Amino acid sequence: MKILKIIFLLVILQIPFDLSAQNSPEDSLAFKQRERELIDSLKIKKDDYKLLESLAILYRENAEIDKSTEIFLKIKDLFNFPKTYMRIALNYYFKEDINKSIEYINKGLEKSQSDSMIFFAAFLYHFMDSNEKALEYLERVIFKDDIYFEPLLLYCDIKFHMYDTTNFYSTILRMEKLDNTNSELYKSYARYYRLIEDYENALTSINKAISLNSDDDYYFLLRGIILYELKKYELALKDFLSKYEGDDYLILKNLYLGRIYSRLDSLEKSMEYYLTFEEIMDDIFEIDDFYNVGVYYIEKADYVKASYYYEKCLKLDSTHANTLNDLALIYWYTKNFDLAESYFQKSIKTEPNEKIVLQNYAMFLASQKRVSDVLVILDKLIEIDPENIKEYEDAKKMIKNEGIIEFCENKKVRF
């Protein structure tokens, strides 16, 4: 579990912590001495709440979570205080038993609807990717005037993961009034701008975050993603390969590396990253990812695998013009001419002015010796692509003067 997540949680719950504490011999001696004092006192004042609480906290601060939990459970049975449930939940969170943590925070909420317990519940549900549930808790208290920075940050984090901009920007403005030097503020700005596809402002914001805190790997990951969206692929690559060294977001990093190398026409390199997702690609791939893998296989003339990935594209978008075009090419190359014709027509229906599709279709029609149909497509290309009008006019002349066979041989068209 990342230490930053633990720190963030402790700040949300306003629990004091000291990262500078060292396990020196003096510290160990002090711990043992304090432990002995509390245990001896409990022999005299059996089941004293303050003594039990102090001992449980002492164990937790010394990372003896099992001992701490055992005592907090005893306190719960003896006194049934609401805050004890939160402390038990916190210990289970430290042990990474999130289900147990949620169980106890919910029991605590049955007894008290304190802000800190509500914040904790929201944090736990967000941690479990149950963001709607997290938001349900957080919105009970997030609009209070006396709210502090970290719960607002948690709210923005949840909104980002839900792709929901409602109240996102206004919450960031509230954060800025509380602390305008916090790098997490500018991360939140970057995320908001990314959601609304304002990538220039997103880049400005994440650069500000990095200027305030260059130790957070996630900032470089986010900047790499933003640079990718800005089509600054080389700069994005630099962030992913040189700056981002964390493994918490390894899947996201590899996904974008696959995308970047595809954009840079390094398909072999792209596949090194894409194929790490074979078992989970249906869960994380977007249509362009399936398409990129399909392109790799069509260039390898592995039409079976290419078709497999193209069909996955069509499940996400049955009108994806590039996929329809490539499937038309596959059916043409494998001499399934009726299906080739069908997929060319579907692609053109989706993108009637896509010149690559029209050029491919013209070549296909030429291979079928359908002269009049080829000329119609060439006229269409002259209309939509005037920069290359000479090439299309020359093609028309060749077909009319020398015949379709000579044209196909000249253009190396497949039959």
CATH number for the domain that contains residue 4: 1.25.40.10
Q: Among 75, 100, 128, identify where a domain stops.
A: 128
Please tell me the predicted confidence (pLDDT) of residue 3. 43
Q: Does some domain include residue 65?
A: yes
Q: From CA 28, how far away is CA 11, in angstroms rounded?
A: 26
Please tell me the predicted confidence (pLDDT) of residue 413. 53
Please tell me the predicted confidence (pLDDT) of residue 399. 82
Q: Does some domain include residue 245?
A: no
Please tell me the predicted confidence (pLDDT) of residue 17. 44
Q: Does some domain include residue 247?
A: no
Please tell me the predicted confidence (pLDDT) of residue 392. 86
Q: How many domains does the chain have?
A: 2
Tens of pLDDT, residue by residue over 95-145, are: 989 999 999 999 999 999 988 899 999 999 998 999 999 999 999 989 988
Q: Does some domain include residue 329?
A: no
Tens of pLDDT, residue by residue over 199-255, are: 999 999 999 999 999 999 999 999 999 999 999 999 999 999 987 776 778 889 999
Please tell me the predicted confidence (pLDDT) of residue 411. 59
Q: Does some domain include residue 121?
A: yes
Q: Does some domain include residue 230?
A: no
Q: Among 128, 156, 173, identify where a domain stops.
A: 128
pTM score:
0.82
Please tell me the predicted confidence (pLDDT) of residue 24. 60
Contact yes or no for 260/228 (Cβ under 8 A): yes
Residue 293's contacts (CB-CB under 8 Å, 6 or more residues apart) are: 271, 274, 309
Q: Does some domain include residue 324?
A: no
Q: Among 72, 105, 128, identify where a domain stops.
A: 128
Please tell me the predicted confidence (pLDDT) of residue 13. 57
For residue 377, give its domain range.
Answer: 353-415
Token readout for 251 is 């899947």
Q: Does some domain include residue 285?
A: no
Q: Which residues of the chain have pLDDT under 70?
A: 1-26, 246, 405, 407-415
